[in-house]
Amino acid sequence: MLTITQALVDQIVAHARNDHPDEACGVVAGPAGSDRPERFIPMLNAAMSPTFYEFDSGDLLKLYREMDDRDEEPVVIYHSHTATEAYPSRTDISYANEPGAHYVLVSTADTDGAGEFQFRSFRIVEGEVTEEEVQVVEAY
C-alpha cells in the first residue's frame, strides 16, 4: 500500500494538469528504507510527448547523486497519461527499474466517468504489474 500525504497528491496532480497535453513525470523521494514519500521533485519530460515520457539523462543523474547525498531513495516515480486510463503501458513496464518504488500514474483524461483525473499506484517488479491501495493522509 502507498501511504502519501494529500499535499503530495495535490502537487502530482497539479503537475500532470500543468503539463497536459504532454505527459508529466517526476519523483517523490524519501529517507532510504522508510517507504515514506516526502520530497516532491517534478522533472522535465525530455520527450515532450502526449504519449510517452522520458527523464532527461543529465537531470536523472543529478537527481540520483542528490538523493544519495541526502540518504534518500525514489519512493514514488510518477507520470501522467493524457488520453488513456492510469495503467502502465508496455513501455512503462519495460522502463520500470526500481523494484522498491511505487509507480503512480495520473490520468488527465476522464476515461471512466469518475471525474477529471485518476490517481493509481502500482508495483512493477520484473515486468509484473500489481495495483496497490493508496491511502491519502493529512500528515505522517
pLDDT above 60 (res 112):
no
Q: 131: closest CA among 92, 96, 88, 89?
A: 88
pLDDT above 70 (res 114):
no
Q: Is the pTM of this model over 0.85?
A: yes
Cβ count near 43 (within 10 Å): 20
When pLDDT is averaged across residues 96-110 and rounded to a whole number, the result is 92
Q: Are 1 and 134 in contact (CB under 8 A)?
A: yes
For residue 72, the SS3 value is strand
pLDDT of residue 109: 79
Inter-CA distances, 40 with 26, 132, 134, Å: 8, 20, 17
When pLDDT is averaged across residues 46-61 and rounded to a whole number, the result is 94
- The residue whose grid cell reads 543523474 is 61
